[in-house]
Structures are given as structure tokens and as C-alpha cells.
Amino acid sequence: MPKIESNSVVINRSIEEVFAFMTDIEKWSQWASEVVEAKKTSEGPVGVGTTFSFLVQFLGRRMEGTNEVTDYAPNSKFAFKTTSGPVSAEDEITFESVAGGTKVTRVSRVETGGFFKLAEPILARTAQRQFETNLANLKDLLEA
């Protein structure tokens, strides 16, 4: 399973603000450019076991998938895994208070198949750039 790690970004906002914004699933389309729509599909507050769906546009393909939160430590970690869809992924986003704000790092492990298996090296490079762009978008949005 390839590991895709983005460059971390420091956002000039408190860890509480950044964590709250990033764990609000339905706001992902505001900063993650490949996300067309994100929707929480379970009841209650976000935590381990919360489910959500994404509709994404990636490499010219529209894909739907469902996900489940696997780790949730307030102001520290938010992790989730794909439970259905064309690509299987495990994502971990960590949050750290640093001088000047909050450091955010995202790491993904992706299992590909079919078309995506053939294009795995391209997929990894494209996803790496996308994650970096998304974190820059997030920084711009939260610091505006």
C-alpha cells in the first residue's frame, strides 16, 4: 500500500479552531479541491465510528466512497478509512500547537485496483500535489 505524505502546513489559528474546522466533514469541499460533496451519514457528534460519504473528482473520474472515523483525539488526531468505493485508503491527520499557530500533517495509505493500479505511480504523485494544494487552501481559508 503506497504511503502518501503531504508537507505539513502551519496555520495561524488555534489548534481548537483548526481541528473543529477540519473535522466538520461537510466543510471539506471548501478547501479540498477534489471533493465535490462530503456528507456525514451517521447521527451524533463526530468521533470513532462516525460515517461519512465523499463524492470526488480525481484524475478525470468522479468517484463515490464511504468512510468511517477510526481515531479521534480532540485537537490531536483525526483518522478515517474507506469502507466502500473504487479506492481503499486510510488517512491520518495530526494537529500540533506550534509557535505561530497549528501544524497540520496528513498521511494516506492507498490501495488501488483496476485502472488505478496501472496508474499507481501517477496516482501517488498527483495525490501528493493535491494534498499539498489542499493544505495551502485550508491555510488561506482559515487565515482570511
Residue 138 has pLDDT above 50, yes or no: yes
**Residue that wins the pLDDT comparison between 97 and 124:** 97
pLDDT value at residue 5: 65
Name all domains of the chain by residue range, CATH numbers in brackets.
3-143 (3.30.530.20)
Q: What is the CA radius of gyration of the chain?
A: 15
pLDDT value at residue 1: 47
* Residue pair 11/106 in contact by the 8 Å Cβ criterion: no
Query: Quick one: average pLDDT of 85-110?
Result: 90
What pLDDT digit, counting tens, does each position of 14-65 carry?
999 999 999 999 999 999 988 999 999 999 999 999 999 999 887 778 989 9
Identify residue 126 by its one-letter amino acid code.
T
Query: Quick one: average pLDDT of 124-143?
Result: 86
Phi/psi for 136 (5° steps) reads -65, -40
**Residue that wins the pLDDT comparison between 2 and 66:** 66
